[in-house]
Amino acid sequence: MKKVEVLDTTLRDGAQSEGISFSVRDKLAIVETLDSLGIPLVEAGNPGSNPKDLEFFREARNLRLQHARLAAFGATRRPGVAAADDPQVCSLVAAGTPVLVIFGKSWDLHVTEVLKTTLDENRRMVHDTLAYARKHAARVVYDAEHFYDGFRANPGYALATLEAAVEAGADVLCLCDTNGGRFPEELAEATQAVLKRFGSRVAVGVHTHNDSGLAVANTLAAVRAGATHVQGTLVGFGERCGNANLSAIIANLQLKAGCACIPAARLTGLTAAARRVAEIANVVLPDDLPYVGAKAFTHKAGMHMDGVRKCSESFEHVPPESVGNARRFLISEIAGRSAVLARIQRVAPAVKKTDQVVDDVVARLKALEQQGYQFEGADASFEILVLKALGTYQPRFTLEHYKIVSERPAKNEQEGAFATIKVRVGDTTADTAAAGDGPVNALDRSLRKALEHFYPELAEVRLTDFKVRVLDGNHATEARVRVLIESTDGRSVWTTVGVSTDIIEASWIALVDSIDYRLSREAGKKG
């Protein structure tokens, strides 16, 4: 198998994504997650850019990693300054990582218009910085920033900058589509030109951005052209439109292209790792993300579901379990009885098509859908429905009452509403109160506060999404609403639904299902 080295830059390029800010603890947790997946190189930040990265590199020395080696990232020296005298270069070397990643300019436009220096001085900057880094690190990767744009504008100069890097001792030339604007055939042609000139002396890699929606395709094109080193972020987030999505790249290369990126046995952990990184970053993993998204192996049309049950490859390009994901059949008005049976059998495998419980679930499903329920995106609520039909549902608590007060203007953004609640668990009652930034948030906090004494595992659970849909606009404020709530415990994600003319009651129904689902799943593990 062709060996393709993977460098994950979630902690550096990914941290440049809007809305993402990693703490030192976050960064350490992500490194451990990537290491458990078998990622060989983790670009962990720029020690010369901020105190947080400096602290991270100090703390990272205590990590005991099995697969990953850490890399510090930084720029070439400034014009007219020796590498050993440049504070940024010194910080980079002081990070003490076994691998250093140095980026420099390969597009003459950037040299003259951004750096405001000469083409010759820029070549010297590349050479001097890499030569200095080579004395302090076991391995040096040179990121040729804007290489593909530079090669298109002035191929002779772009290649000359690479020559400077190779002469200085670079181990890898990583060619960057920094603006994300090039097409796959352009990358393949330019990559082949670099390999023809330098391939016998140094490894060649690729780093792409997704501004044209082609980051994964461009990376694969470069690998097909001969690149053996790829960079990206595990779930694709990064500056502007994001970086190349490594979860898709690794799966494509390893399952379809005969390449070895991570240990084969680790590939089944791909989905869990992607979801863990998204959770740490406090971002919602896109449901339609290839391979690892919740919808990646989801089927709704009856014909598709029938085809998958008979022959999975008829509507699935790879087995979902190969990347640690799972197949889902959506329950809706077009799903059919067979799909309902398949979903019931996930909860109770012994149920047969002729059993009364199938008729009971179908009838209940139709009645609830007429009221406005929709279960195709609420797997957890459907599972609770099945447990009730089977007679195995055990409510974990009973509501005595709740009361919610909203205040405007609020004293602060986090306390715009206040909820009190009384619940019964067995023979014990609990009264609690909590503030929130809205009535649903206050109710959720108050409920968890009441239940965590009985069920400590609920401390891990939090809401990640909340959607409201008005079902009949003709009734204005008297209309029924459907509430969808997405929850997570950091390892898995589930969705529940509630419907009512009262938005708080609809939210309550969905909240109760969310907690019941988590607790019933925990009870199943213990059983």
The CATH H-level superfamily of 2-281 is: Aldolase class I (3.20.20.70)
What is the pLDDT at residue 366? Answer: 82
What is the pLDDT at residue 310? Answer: 77
pTM over 0.75: no
Domain 397-454 matching CATH 3.40.50.170: the answer reads no
* Contact (CB, 8 A) for 130 and 162: no
Same fold? 356-388+459-527, 397-454: yes
Residue type, 76: T
What is the pLDDT at residue 521? Answer: 79
Tokens, residue 438: 């809205």
What is the pLDDT at residue 170? Answer: 98
Phi, psi of 499 (to 5 degrees): -135, 135
What is the pLDDT at residue 480? Answer: 86
- Domain extent listing, the chain: 2-281, 356-388+459-527, 397-454
What is the pLDDT at residue 476? Answer: 57
Which residue has 């004293």 as its token pair? Answer: 411
Which residue has 């797997």 as its token pair? Answer: 379
Distance separating alpha carbons of residues 253 and 270, to the nearest angstrom: 13
What is the pLDDT at residue 489? Answer: 87
Domain 356-388+459-527 matching CATH 3.30.160.340: the answer reads yes
* Contact (CB, 8 A) for 249 and 220: yes
Q: Which candidate, 178, 222, 224, places its Cα nearest to that of 9?
A: 178
Distance separating alpha carbons of residues 67 and 215, to the nearest angstrom: 26
Phi, psi of 353 (to 5 degrees): -60, -30
Please, what is the angle between helix 356-371 and helix 337-347, to 10°?
110
Q: Which residues pair with 485 in a beta bridge?
A: 466, 496
What is the pLDDT at residue 468? Answer: 87
Distance separating alpha carbons of residues 156 and 56, to the nearest angstrom: 39
Distance, CA of 91 to chain centre = 30
What is the pLDDT at residue 421? Answer: 95
DSSP string, 466-527: EEEEES-GGGGGGS-EEEEEEEE-SS-EEEEEEEESSHHHHHHHHHHHHHHHHHHHHHHHH-
User: Residue 295 CB: number of other CB atoms within 10 A?
Assistant: 15
Cβ neighbours of residue 179 under 8 Å, at least 6 residues apart? 146, 149, 209, 211
Residue ranges of the chain with per-residue pLDDT less than 70: 301-302, 305, 331-336, 376, 410-414, 473-478, 523-527
